[in-house]
Amino acid sequence: MIDLHTHTLLSDGELLPSELARRADEIGYKVIAFTDHIDFSNIDDVVSALIRVCEKINMNFRIKTIPGVEITHVNPIDIPIISKIARNLGAKIIVVHGETIVEPVAKGTNKKALESDIDILAHPGILSEDEAKIAAEKKIYIEISARKGHSLSNGHIVRLWYEYGFPLILNTDTHSPENLITDDFAKKIIISSGVKVEDVNKVVHNSYILAKSKLDIGFEI
């Protein structure tokens, strides 16, 4: 399992990064990204802390970790600014908290995120066709989610994926240890989202491609 959207005690997760990594390793994870929620109030502290802990984990654990952020409920006009700050601080994976149908995310977040320097648009809700086209052109990963609530729009996202061909990725949006999943369960979620059985490995491989591009060290799958 490669999971590029999770949360620790540095935002609203339940576990320290090291414990989350250890629990993920125990159920077969190869790579996990810590993408704690940030806005302008905490970005410096979160990114610096995650860079430090990821270096230690990658030296001593079997699992590999990636420091990242999830830009969350930031005014859309500020997303290009804060994504640039995150990148300059050293965040390797930049996720934007998309317009999920179960939270009051500001309208325009999806589009402004896709116009910015980001890696993943998470749980984007009712993604528009124009937004799907931008994601395809810029090769920004669009997330289907294993998380309750956010997953309600997975079928819509998969339909647009088949039409427009943007990179599709599955993440858990883990906040507690119970949210971590196995490879087998991940494949069940992908199929349940409307992906044809013969295309499941394409989605799984996308996680590998993105993780490999962000890691300075090798890993095996």
Distance CA 154, CA 44 (A): 32
Does 200 reside within a domain?
Answer: yes
C-alpha closest to that of 94 among 4, 165, 207, 161? 4
193-207 mean pLDDT: 98
Q: Is 198 helix (H, G, I), strand (E, B) or coil?
A: helix
Question: pLDDT tens across 77-118, in order?
Answer: 999 999 999 999 999 999 999 999 999 999 999 999 999 999
Does 220 reside within a domain?
Answer: no
Query: Residue 216: its pLDDT value, please?
Result: 79
Number of domains in the chain: 1
Question: pLDDT tens across 43-86, in order?
Answer: 999 999 999 999 999 999 999 999 999 999 999 999 999 999 99
Which domain covers residue 189, as residue numbers? Answer: 2-214
Does 221 reside within a domain?
Answer: no
Distance CA 20, CA 7 (A): 9
Does 209 reside within a domain?
Answer: yes
Does 87 reside within a domain?
Answer: yes
Which tokens in the block code for residue 107?
């309208």
CATH code of 26's domain: 3.20.20.140
Does 56 reside within a domain?
Answer: yes
Is residue 108 within 8 Å of residue 76, measured between CB atoms? yes
Is residue 50 within 8 Å of residue 17, measured between CB atoms? yes
Does 205 reside within a domain?
Answer: yes
Name the pLDDT band for 192 (thresholds 50, 70, 90): very high
Model pTM score: 0.97
Does 49 reside within a domain?
Answer: yes
DSSP characters for 7-57? Answer: --TTTT-SS-HHHHHHHHHHTT-SEEEEEEEE-TTTHHHHHHHHHHHHHHH
Which tokens in the block code for residue 170?
């599955």
Name the pLDDT band for 219 (thresholds 50, 70, 90): low
Task: Kindly tell me if the per-residue pLDDT of 20 is higher than 70.
Answer: yes
Task: Report percent pLDDT > 90 for the chain.
Answer: 97
